[in-house]
Structure 1
Amino acid sequence: MMKYPFLSLQETNTPYFEELKQAASEVIESGRYLLGERVARFEAELCRYLSCDYAVAVGNGLDALRLILKAYIELGSMAPGDEVIVPANTYIASVLAVTDNGLVPVFVEPSESTFNLNMSLIERAITSRTKAVMTVHLYGRACWSGELKELAARYGLKIIEDNAQAMGAVSSVPGISGKFRTGALGDAAGNSFYPGKNLGALGDAGAVTTDDKELADVVRTLAFYGSAKKYVNIYRGLNSRMDEIQAAFLSVKLKYLDEENRHRAVVAAEYNKCIDHPGVMTPEPGSPGEHIFHVYALRCRRRDELQEYLTTQGVGTLIHYPIPPHQQQCYREYNLLSFPVAERLSREELSLPMAGNLSLESVREISGIINRF
């Protein structure tokens, strides 16, 4: 057992045990486990939280992204063979959603300072087949700018947010509809509530959020076998639904999300203050609320040695992500492409323990261990 585990879901959920048990009991006693009032309630709560018009609860974050793109194809905004710009250093799900719909990912390098999509490189990647930019709020930091909005308007592109890691983050620049929270900045967003997320279910769950009623309606239909009326199938759809019990759990935890995110920012600031090692680079915090630190990501050229050392000292760590999408075996057609920044980040990134209940004393002790490396 690690003295400082990377993440303990049991400890993360301990403050809410009684409320979660009560929520589970109510769902069990209701006899309604799918397509019930608790999912509808959570969708409404999520809309209020993000200030968006529509939320469609689905099975997981990957499905949320898949369904957005599939809906745009059904609506005629995209067609197989069209291109979607994606960051070269995202989690594989961002790219899987694109290729699963017969669309073509076009990789763009990240910024070394933010780990997010380098906005200055987007325009040179746009072609006549480009239909969308997928902006990924990686590690919990909002990835948004006025330049991105201007490019999308000038070239007629959709902006799709991969908001799997940043629920609660706030952009200093308003989105296309004047909203500020990630998940409500672009045309549509895929959100994940995987248990380890800042807003985590106790199983798989996700949601599509948007201000576009037509898109939301098509997504909802696609997620239910392509059927808006039972046994009448308009589209070749999927089966992707959030369970009632996960929606009930998420309604409990959403109430505490901002408080936990504020604590994560305090934890990150303490790490940044206490870590003092010439070979370790700490992450930039961004403007207030811009980074909710789903992951606290260091950089170190001796990353593998540092990880091994921390393991011997009882500190749990993870690497996000050791192999960029374009180098994965499943995307052999892209293996010869070169993205030096993304590849360098994949060799140097190391994530430290981070949670809404992590004590500052633990942060100081972990930092001291790093300083002695």
Structure 2
Amino acid sequence: MALSEKPLEALLVHLFTHNDKNLEWIPMKVRTAVSTYFNYSYTFGQLILVGIAFAIQHWRWLQFTLATPFYIFFLSSWWFPESARWLILQNKADVALKHLKWVAKLNNKEEEGKTLTTAILKSTMEKELSNIKGKYSVLDLFKTPIMCKIACCTMLVWFSTSFAYYGLAIDLQRFGVDIYLIQIIFGAVDIPAKLLGVVTLSYIGRRFTQGTSLILAGSIVIINIFIPKDMQALRTSLAAIGKGCLATAFSCCYLHAGELYPTVVRQTGMGLVTTMARFGAMVAPVVKMTGDYIAFLPMTIYGGMAIISGIAGFLLPETLNIPLPDTIEEVENRAKRSAEKDADSKKDEISLQETFTSKTEADHLT
């Protein structure tokens, strides 16, 4: 974590303006890049899987080999630092202070870290602490208009992204290419797709990237239905591009949703949407079976859901270069200010148009 030249201000700025758990420890200016780099671990995992599956072809031993690392990672998770912002909002400023001093030490700012106290941390988040209630549940995601809209749209986006992604993945053999080769192709296409995603996320925005990648992926999946089966190269290429778009959408999902949900319910919101993603992965094979009755139906459903969720993605607020919210009230207030700003802009536009019209009519009369 990069800290600025001013010692105390540096730590406070890092904690309270540069905010899911990983996001809160990453400076805003590199949040998009770091989040995408994390997602590359999934891509490289897909590529490594090809080699492991080729070497261990008995499915039981393959499953055992792939499952074993999860136990190690589960145990290591107990050593991850909890979100400092969340700890302060949960009246655990002493634990947050301990984590912050550890982070300062990692960044060679140990002396600056010593100047921090629990009183300073609490005073910095005084407003947020005054608006917070005791406990939050998943129901709090639906109690206010804007939060309800965010929750419903992100649930649809996550469900459809996972649904279409695994819908393509379980149908690899349909393309008539060696299953190991097609897995490599489908894994490798993520590399340029996610790099392109970093550019659009950083310079255009999260909402554009989310919506466009899903609509483009859905359109490609549906177009592929009409490509003759003897044109395998074209069909495989289109499928790979569609999968790349879904990989970009997945990268954006984690970043955008984490920035939309306030600190007090961020983990609850992320838990909800990731559950919807798992549900989408479970439903995908069931939908695949409908192809036994109508050949084009599965891909039509996969593509259609991706397009619908892409439209829903455009309904979400933009979060590019905006500090993460801490409370539900902050989310609602931001939406109100944004709506008021848009209303004022429209009034100014109408006023200018009326002035121009009046002037034109006056000139015409004279």
* Greater Cα radius of gyration, structure 1 or 2: 2
TM-score (norm 1): 0.24
TM-score (norm 2): 0.25
Structure having the higher strand fraction is: 1
